[in-house]
Amino acid sequence: MIASDLSIRPQYTPWVAAVWVDPQHRNANVGSGLVRAGAEAAKRSGFATAYLCAMPHNHAFYERLGWSIVETDVDGEGLAVFRSR
């Protein structure tokens, strides 16, 4: 969890950011666990909502985890901002 991961959208805070799972460990619920832990950390810190950004090829992953899109094509290349529910 960080204060901001997208300098052009400072109104969104905090962010679950820099989540990466090496390919050999994907599809084992590692990424979903990390994302959930980040959102829970935000709630424990007093935030009702957490944010993250993702490129189109990752949108379905975050939507399956219950995140919803706030903005699309933020950077002109398909980057979307999501919020936790």
pLDDT tens for 37-54 read: 999 999 999 999 999 999
Per the prediction, the chain carries an average pLDDT of: 95
pTM for the structure as a whole: 0.92
Residue 49 lies in a domain: yes
In a domain, 44, yes or no: yes
Per-residue confidence (pLDDT) for residue 22, from 0 to 100: 95
The answer to whether position 13 is within a domain reads no
The verdict on residue 52 lying in a domain is yes
Answer yes or no: is 37 within a domain: yes
Residue 70 lies in a domain: yes
What is the distance between the alpha carbons of residues 81 and 72, in angstroms, rounded to a whole number?
A: 7
Structural domains counted in the chain: 1
Q: pLDDT class for 75, splitting at 50, 70, 90?
A: confident
Sort residue 72 into left (φ over 0), alpha (ψ -120 to 50) or beta: beta
Residue 77: what pLDDT? Answer: 85
Domain that residue 48 falls in: 23-83
